[in-house]
Structure 1
Amino acid sequence: MLIIFFTLITSVFVIQFNTTRNFLREHQTTEIDNAVSAVGMALAPYLETGDDIAMESVINATFDGSFYNKVSLELFQENKKIERAYPAKITGVPEWFRSRIEITSITRTSTLTSGWMQLGELTVTSNPAHAYQKLWHATMQLVFGFSITFLFGGVLLVFILSRVLHPLKAIQKSAKAMSKNQFGKPLQVPHTRELSDVVKAFNHMSAQLKMHFEQQAQEADRLRIRAFQDPVSGLANRSYLITQLQSWLNGSSKGGVVLLRVDLIKDSYEKSGYEAGDKLVEKLANRIKSLTSDNFTIARLTQAEFILLAPNTSTSELVSLGRSMLHMSEELHSDPLDVSPVQAAVGVVVRNESDTISTILAQADNALTQARQQPKEPLTVFDNAQQAATMGKLQWKALVDEAIANNLFRFKFQKAINDNGETLHKEVFAYIQKGEERYTAGQFVGAVEQLNAGPQLDMHIIEQLFKKLEDDPELGPIAVNITQSSISDTGFIRWLCNKMKANQDLSERILFELPEISFIKHSNDTDLLCEMIHQNSFAFGIDNFGHNFSSVSYLSKVLPAYVKLDFAYTTQVDNEVKADLLTSITRTASNLSITAIASRVETTRQINKLAEMQVKGFQGFVVDEMKREEAV
């Protein structure tokens, strides 16, 4: 429309310009014809008498340099010629204008007579200077006027079109958001008839897609509850606990379990029915959930028994957790005078290297039995000599500070591959090498988190990794874990934001891995960090996805690049119920363009089975073995 408007304005300008030029040419012709006629009549009496002085006076008075270029009077009787020449000076008109626009001089010749006798011949040549000046002045007025008109018309046209096409821009913006699986409020139906139907159809499609994703998330939640979650308390069930215990016992991690039995809940079930008992269970579970951590697993073992699995935790910390659980159970019983006996007991078991699932649960049950015989504080600890030498939180913190100061951190990488065997990224595992001793992150991160020293640790590790990426262009992409305490630290978030801004060229070579627990406990801080990562064109993933039994619906809000599934979801792929759960979760992630990565993959059969369930990424022992075989 602007092009058409410009063409129209240009056409009018050209027409007006040509009209003005033609008018000036005709005016010049008319003026010289009138001048020749008038001068011929004035000269006639003097020609008859031969008064040369009078004839020169008439010529000088009539013609001047602004309109005429040359005047010539030839006298036939005297054989004499009177000539006047005026320089053709054209001022105020650019040379390029005169060279492109031609206005030629006009010459008129008239024979002067007296009766039948020819007395002389008058020749006058016009000066085009005046016509050029008038035409240039008119051109400037036209250019200025049409420019103002075009600018005003263009602005008005843009304003009108922006108002008319505003619904289309809203559709465009909403379509971009929907392509990223982000669904906002329905668009307002415009008054434009042609666009109203489009907006209505678009709103309907957006609502259908949003409902589809919500239904998928709800389906995954229902299947998760069915497979791994206790429906009353919302904690893990026995099946999920056994999976976590097996993984813990297979590794080198220390720590222990805390078993809580609440007789008040059992009595409530027996005396008041299931509804009253369920209310107490739900109330206690909500309190116990405050103890959860990214590494902890809290489960409801039986009707009135609750167990907390705490890897990499010292004996004193296990006792502290046990006392907290005991105190929470006491709050269920209304006793203003504090005279009734405690209707709960806690057994704490510190892991031994030779423990199995059956032995550690048996020890916990025995510890619980002994605790019930101690009315003052019904809490018993089963410990062993190996744990007595375990370092405390402050010692671990001092070791980490020393490692940061003396650059004792080392890194190893574990690949995550897709179903085609291509590398997705390499996850970074940091450890401290002090002399001959090696300390893995699993040993000291728990203590660092409890002392809120995660930001210093994360900043040091990230700084080292950025340097490695700059020094080695072939390295990457790599994924680095962020501790939970760092996500809640505004100073760390500000530091990381500045770091990303200063290293935009590394945005494709490093990813940040956030623990799932941070999206539950510190959702506002985590959402802020995710938004800053997106704004700086970096990407992030979610670790231990599904460990804390949160709804998967938050994925559409934060949009990570990948989710690393908790290994409990990928170890029992032959179980139909758990296979359905895994398929539902991976389908939801896939529809949001999020890669689902299975961790701790140990066999190629497991890879093939997981691939059938739309798992697109694999990480674990078997992946390392496959890469070593390829290298050989």
Structure 2
Amino acid sequence: MTLYRQLLLWMLVVLFLLISAVFTIQFNTTKSYLIEQQSTELNNVVNSIGFALSPYLKEKDFISAESVINATFDSGYYSQVKLTLLDSNKEIIRQYPQRIDNIPDWFQSLIQIKAITQTTTLTSGWLQLANLTVISSPVSAYIQLWKATIQLVLGFITSLLLTAIVLSLVLNKVLRPLKQIQKSAQEIAHNHFTDPLPTPHTRELSDLVIAFNSMNTQLQQHFEQQAQEADTLRIRAYQDPVSGLANRSYLMTKLKSWLLHKPTGGIILLKSDAIEDNYQQSGYEKGDKLVQKLTNHLKELSTDNVTIARLNQSEFMLIAPNASEDELMDTARSMLHMTSELNSDPLGIAPLQAAVGIVMCSDTLTITALLAHADNAVNKARHEIKEPIALLEINEKKTTPAIGKQQWKILVDEAIANNLIHFTFQKAIDANNAVIHKEMFAYIKKGQQCFNAGQFLSAIEKLNEGTKFDCYIIDTLFNQLVGKTESVPIAINITQSSINDTGFIRWLNSKLQACSEMKQHVLFELPEICFIKNINNTSLLCEIIRNNGFKFGIDNYGHNFSSIGYLNKLRPSYVKLDFSYTSQLDNQVKTDVLESITRSANNLSVLTIASRVETIEQKDKLTQLQIQGFQGYVTDQLVNGK
């Protein structure tokens, strides 16, 4: 029970006791007064009738005597009148009905008002004429006492209600600062920090609010400092300080992981002679400005799959898994166009001081060979007449023709129309090998061929066709889960194009409202790039998901080298760390970065899940670094081995 209710309840109890005491005193006083009034009236009427009856009795005029009795005792205040003549023992008796209407029987049985009997001897001088006995009637006293009781009860109930309303308003106003402290304390318990509370006028509460505001500010600063430290460590280990892009170390980690998993797609190496010349001729300050100008444009090409890094002063590399030759050529031209803007050539006739080399990847390549081929491609591009772009094809055994974006779109539309989309699931487990959730992966099976989502998602994303695919996936999964009691939630990945589609957001809101029973069985996983590039639409989608009782997580957390401060604002249920942070656990600097990032998320009660965990040893090391969830090859191995 809340303090407000306890205080109000006890005040009302005390008030009720006081009112009950006043009611009892007033009730007994009224009752005593009515009994005394009944006795007084009886005494008066008996004394007065004696004088009226004596002359008639002396003259033996009994008819007149009866008339006097009937006239005197005609009201309902008496139950019986008995006149006994002493000389002849003749009696005159009058009985009056005792009917009490509109008074409950329980009241009469609970409240006892006894009839009063009074007897007197009528005389004429020294001569005794008759005995007069009068018995009063308690009916009038009952009626008056019942009316008085009703008035008292109504008056006291009204007073009690009015007092309760006034007390509730007063207590609510007095305890409002305390309620604000309680609400803010609950928010802080979930690591949600609020604005400072206004200082109340009550001395005790004023001191409490001042102390609470100070504690709230200190905790908020502590969490912000931790987030800043995590960002600082991450920048030192993985980010180029000038461009803000990934550095060579991070790029090597990405390339190593990419080449180990049957890579498709390719890399693009951009060499800017303009930047190199400015460093040599004008110094670092001007060269850094050109780098920053170029990277502001290059960041527009970044997605959750695409990694952009700065190799040295004037070289930039882009990794594009699952990209086709045409897509790489389009991206290379975009990069070349961005580089052309560095030239101060308003007429556009000066030669372009840049070259771009493209290398299609092969599973037989090493990192050293891949970088060497990229350098060769750049050198080859310098000799191109039309545009300084060269594409180097390494995979000579390739027999499958490349599929373009429009072909992928046609294939996806056909798969949706003919239900050719199938699903696989990968479990995410905790440190005790208990399943947290299952992530759903879609693939298209057409005839004997299978196409995983990584092959076609980037193509339909570029065509802004992800919404249709996401709607189909959500509809299909919800229909499959109807009537089932799935104990493990299923995570659905949402594409970036859907998050930026207001029509999809409205559709999803209606879908979630209509399927509220699914909130325990379905999670939504959003790519981190959306929190960087499209924070407004992403915040709206997160709010809709949360308001409907569903939960969401962030995929590829930490991939885009932005501040992680958005965690405190949006509060996802979990984050899946980019595998680059969890793949080199023997490097102490990178381990410190991972531990700092994980601590920042854990302090906000956000579950951290490591992706691509391949071995039990890797899982054990990650557990020591406070990682709470694991997903990868080791997952099925541990779950099935239990």
User: What TM-score does the superposition give when structure 2 sets the normalisation length?
Assistant: 0.95
CA distance in structure 2 between the partners assigned to 1:233 and 1:256 by the alignment: 22
Is 1:53 equivalent to 2:43 in the alignment?
no
Count of residue pairs brought into register by the alignment: 630
* SS of alignment partner, residue 213 of structure 1: helix
Is 1:273 equivalent to 2:283 in the alignment?
yes
Aligned residues of 2:486 and 2:521 also touching (Cα < 8 A): no
Aligned residues of 2:238 and 2:247 also touching (Cα < 8 A): yes
TM superposition shift of 1:221: 0.4
Is 1:333 equivalent to 2:348 in the alignment?
no
Aligned residues of 1:74 and 1:82 also touching (Cα < 8 A): yes
Which residue in the other structure is 1:549 paired with? 561
Which residue in the other structure is 1:525 paired with? 537
Aligned residues of 1:259 and 1:305 also touching (Cα < 8 A): yes
Q: What CA deviation, in whole Å up to 9, does each residue of 1:370-392 have, x standing for no partner? A: 22223542222224674871221
Report the residue type matching 1:275 in the other structure. E
Which residues in structure 2 correspond to 1:293-312 (within 5 Å)? 293-312=303-322
Is 1:515 equivalent to 2:502 in the alignment?
no
Cα distance 1:234–1:66, how it changes in 2: closer, same or farther (>3 A)?
A: same
Is 1:163 equivalent to 2:173 in the alignment?
yes
Which residue in the other structure is 1:562 paired with? 574
Aligned residues of 1:65 and 1:86 also touching (Cα < 8 A): no
Which residue in the other structure is 1:96 paired with? 106
TM superposition shift of 1:310: 1.0
Single out whichever of 446-455 and 298-307 deviates more from structure 2.
446-455
Q: Which of 297, 301, 306 does residue 291 from structure 1 map onto?
A: 301
Gaps of 5+ in 1: none
CA distance in structure 2 between the partners assigned to 1:154 and 1:83 by the alignment: 57
Which residues in structure 2 correspond to 1:236-251 (within 5 Å)? 236-251=246-261
TM superposition shift of 1:99: 3.2
Is 1:401 equivalent to 2:413 in the alignment?
yes
Which residue in the other structure is 1:459 paired with? 471
Is 1:595 equivalent to 2:607 in the alignment?
yes
- Structure 1 stretches of 4+ moved >4 Å: none
Is 1:114 equivalent to 2:116 in the alignment?
no
Aligned residues of 1:454 and 1:484 also touching (Cα < 8 A): yes
* SS of alignment partner, residue 118 of structure 1: strand
Aligned residues of 1:480 and 1:512 also touching (Cα < 8 A): yes
Which residue in the other structure is 1:492 paired with? 504
Which residue in the other structure is 1:421 paired with? 433
TM superposition shift of 1:287: 1.2
* SS of alignment partner, residue 473 of structure 1: coil
Is 1:575 equivalent to 2:587 in the alignment?
yes
* SS of alignment partner, residue 69 of structure 2: helix
CA distance in structure 2 between the partners assigned to 1:324 and 1:388 by the alignment: 27
Which residue in the other structure is 1:434 paired with? 446
Aligned residues of 1:65 and 1:87 also touching (Cα < 8 A): no
Which residue in the other structure is 2:183 paired with? 173
Cα distance 1:43–1:387, how it changes in 2: closer, same or farther (>3 A)?
A: farther
* SS of alignment partner, residue 428 of structure 1: strand
CA distance in structure 1 between the partners assigned to 2:511 and 2:106 by the alignment: 58
Q: Which of 200, 204, 207 does residue 214 from structure 2 map onto?
A: 204
Aligned residues of 2:433 and 2:638 also touching (Cα < 8 A): no
Q: What CA deviation, in whole Å up to 9, does each residue of 1:28-51 have, x standing for no partner? A: 111111111111121112121111
CA distance in structure 2 between the partners assigned to 1:473 and 1:92 by the alignment: 62
TM superposition shift of 1:423: 1.3
Which residue in the other structure is 2:145 paired with? 135
Which residue in the other structure is 1:16 paired with? 26
CA distance in structure 1 between the partners assigned to 2:400 and 2:448 by the alignment: 22
TM superposition shift of 1:467: 2.9
* SS of alignment partner, residue 512 of structure 1: strand
Report the residue type matching 1:217 in the other structure. A
How much identity, in percent, do the aligned residues show?
A: 57
Report the residue type matching 1:319 in the other structure. M
Aligned residues of 2:433 and 2:639 also touching (Cα < 8 A): no
TM superposition shift of 1:470: 3.1
CA distance in structure 2 between the partners assigned to 1:278 and 1:564 by the alignment: 33
Q: What CA deviation, in whole Å up to 9, does each residue of 1:426-478 have, x standing for no partner? A: 11111122222211111111122112222221222122222333343245222
CA distance in structure 1 between the partners assigned to 2:613 and 2:241 by the alignment: 29
Single out whichever of 251-260 and 581-590 deviates more from structure 2.
251-260
Which residue in the other structure is 1:540 paired with? 552
Is 1:618 equivalent to 2:611 in the alignment?
no
TM superposition shift of 1:15: 2.0
TM superposition shift of 1:252: 3.4
Which residue in the other structure is 1:38 paired with? 48
CA distance in structure 2 between the partners assigned to 1:252 and 1:110 by the alignment: 127
CA distance in structure 1 between the partners assigned to 2:119 and 2:37 by the alignment: 18
CA distance in structure 2 between the partners assigned to 1:115 and 1:454 by the alignment: 125
Aligned residues of 2:38 and 2:141 also touching (Cα < 8 A): yes
Report the residue type matching 1:628 in the other structure. N
CA distance in structure 1 between the partners assigned to 2:218 and 2:457 by the alignment: 44
Q: What CA deviation, in whole Å up to 9, does each residue of 1:302-344 have, x standing for no partner? A: 1111111111212111111111111111112222222222111
* SS of alignment partner, residue 30 of structure 1: helix
Which residue in the other structure is 1:377 paired with? 387
Which residue in the other structure is 1:146 paired with? 156
* SS of alignment partner, residue 520 of structure 2: coil
TM superposition shift of 1:580: 0.4
Report the residue type matching 2:467 in the other structure. P
CA distance in structure 1 between the partners assigned to 2:110 and 2:466 by the alignment: 77
Aligned residues of 1:469 and 1:475 also touching (Cα < 8 A): no
TM superposition shift of 1:9: 2.1
User: What TM-score does the superposition give when structure 1 sets the normalisation length?
Assistant: 0.96
TM superposition shift of 1:348: 1.8
